[in-house]
Structures are given as C-alpha cells and as structure tokens.
Structure 1
C-alpha cells in the first residue's frame, strides 16, 4: 500500500436531509471524523446537503479522502459536492451503486429515507447471494431504526428470512465500535492504524 493510500474505504448510506433530531447530524459527524482520524476513505452519494454533506465534510476535515458518486440527474437536486477528492458523475443509479460497492471495503447505513433503505437492502441482498463478502452495518441513531429492526426480526419469525441472513447485518448504536467491527471484518486492523488529530 502506498504511503498516501487510504487505510480502508467505507461506503456510507445516509439522508440528503438532516432529519429532525440533532443526534442524526452528530452521528454523521462522528462517522466522518472516525473515518478521517483512522486514515480512511469515505465513499458516498456525492451530495453536499443533509447528512451526506455532513459526513463528507467531517471526513475531509479529519484528514480522510472523500469519493462522491452521483447521477447527472441528481447533480443539481442533491447539490453535488465539488470539494470531494474524487467526484464521479454517472448516468444512472445502477452505475452509482455499482461504483460505490466496487470502491468500498465495507458498508454502513445511517438514518435516511427511501434511497438509504434501498441502497442498504440491495447491498445486503448481494451479500446473501454471494456477489460480495463485504461487511454491512446499520447505525441505529436515537432509536431511528428500532421499528425496522423489529420488522426484520418479525420477518425471521414468520419464516421469510433466516437467522443467518440477519447475522450478515451488524446493527449497533455505538459509532466507534460498529465502525471498528466493520473495518476489521473487512480485513484491516483499525486498532493498529495511527490516529490523526481532527482539525
């Protein structure tokens, strides 16, 4: 690995809105700071509004690389983040998601809306089908995903999912613990990565 290469690359799915609870923005900031402080690279949807913009800016300020991938149709709507180290403008959502998955070692979903749900469920489906073996996480901020997790367990109890499928998704409420778990499961020892100071 080159000296300037990121220690790992993690894909973050999150809302293009900030949400109504300040805890969501605080969590997005903490995720970005952790990625940057550990010498990592953020791969995300390329917007500069809402939680997307927050996690990107926090990563950048903490010294991490930021890779944004956004469809042309959303460049104006989501206010493309021109401050990314790499900003890829693609033609379709399929291209966006495929590139995000290809450039990442692990995936984590923060609070968000239907786009965040769709991205998480697609990459989770790919994992269970064996299209990739990268770890997946769900950061349950301020109980945001309590209802979803209850429904997923209901799906297991109803016989439409197996426990092994639920076991592929690491849900947690503690940001550093969850991120370290994902990065280490992706084959990187986060505890041995020298921390950078946050500016």
Structure 2
C-alpha cells in the first residue's frame, strides 16, 4: 500500500509531534506501507521519512526544483521525483498513493487536505480514503468546518464518505487499508 502523508516541514510546538511522527514512520516501514510525501528531511517530514527508511520501508519523495531553500531534500529516499513546480508536486502527491494520512501540520498541510477533498468532490481525482490523524484534538476545528460545509449545503455529505478520523495512527491506517481495498473493488465493477 502507498500512503501520501501530508505533514509539515517544521516540528511544531510540542515534542510529542516528533515522537509520534517517528513511531508512525517505523510502523509504516515495518508494515510495508510505502510513504509518498513532499521530499524534505526537515521537520515532521524528515522524521517520518527517516523512520520509514530506518525500518526498511520505501519512501518516495516529491520535490519541486529549486523552490525551497529552507527545506533540504531527502537524497537517500528510495525514489526521488523532482518536479518543475509546486503544482506538479501536489498533483503527484494526490495521484500516486492509494490513500492519504493527514498528520498535524501547517498551511501547506491544510492546502493539501483541502485540495484532495475538493478534487475528489468534483471528480478530478478518484475517491481515495483520507485519514485525519486527530492527535490531541489537533484537527477538531477542521472537522467542525467540514461538517459546517455540509450542514450549510456548500458541500455534499458524500464528500466526507471517505474521510476517517482517529487519534490512533495504527487504527487510522487500518481504516485506510480496509477502505482503499473497497474503493478499488467498486472502481473495478
């Protein structure tokens, strides 16, 4: 299975973000779950990708050419893809995986989850399970906003059919794996 993890190039305020990111990476690596991500070795991105590699897993890093001077690309990734710009990077982050996992992050993470959901809603992207890792209630506000979009009829309720939420990443990955299989079977029929 391939999972795109949306996360930040910063560590965040609490040390626990980095600790859990490391545990997530080890879990993915040990369970043959390929990480697809933004390609940096900075912050949470670097922690997760480094742990996947240390656990013997595969990592595909997708980096836009010359865009970030503050983010150091992970040159030891299993696969490195250099894109011409950030838009191509985002298209690949959305098209390559079987599922998405949203780790606590910042504006870039918010943009990625928003783009994934909006593209699935309008049919630019096949439906894929999207897991929101709600560590320490980090995404309570986002979940309220998503519910508000549906409640006020600015989005169809079906947009949330493939969104899964948990504060336990192992449980969340289990939901993603189970539902990626179901979506693949539906598409085949």
The verdict on a shared fold, with TM-score over 0.5 as the criterion, is yes
Asked if 1:104 corresponds to 2:91, the answer is no
| RMSD (Å) for aligned C-alpha atoms | 1.6
Asked if 1:179 corresponds to 2:179, the answer is no
Does the 8 Å contact 1:136/1:168 carry over to 2?
yes
Tell me how far apart the structure 2 counterparts of residues 128 and 159 of structure 1 sit (CA, whole Å).
13
What secondary structure is seen at the aligned counterpart in 2 of 1:63? coil
Asked if 1:145 corresponds to 2:139, the answer is yes
Tell me how far apart the structure 2 counterparts of residues 155 and 104 of structure 1 sit (CA, whole Å).
26
Shift of 1:99: 1.7
Tell me how far apart the structure 2 counterparts of residues 62 and 22 of structure 1 sit (CA, whole Å).
21
How many residues align? The count is 181
Aligned to 1:15: 8
Aligned to 2:119: 126
Does the 8 Å contact 1:23/1:142 carry over to 2?
no
Please show how residues 15-54 of structure 1 align to structure 2 within 5 Å. Answer: 15-54=8-47
Does the 8 Å contact 1:27/1:141 carry over to 2?
no
Shift of 1:183: 1.7
What secondary structure is seen at the aligned counterpart in 1 of 2:118? helix
Which structure has the higher relative contact order (CA within 8 Å, separation 6+)? 1
Tell me how far apart the structure 2 counterparts of residues 162 and 98 of structure 1 sit (CA, whole Å).
23
Asked if 1:164 corresponds to 2:158, the answer is yes
Does the 8 Å contact 2:120/2:159 carry over to 1?
no
What secondary structure is seen at the aligned counterpart in 1 of 2:164? strand
Aligned to 1:113: 106
Tell me how far apart the structure 2 counterparts of residues 37 and 99 of structure 1 sit (CA, whole Å).
24
Tell me how far apart the structure 2 counterparts of residues 56 and 76 of structure 1 sit (CA, whole Å).
19
* TM-score (normalised: structure 2): 0.89
1:79-112 deviations in whole A, cap 9, x for unaligned?
1111111111111111111222232111111011
The list of structure 1 runs, each at least 4 consecutive aligned residues, that deviate by more than 3 angstroms after superposition, is none
Aligned to 2:187: none
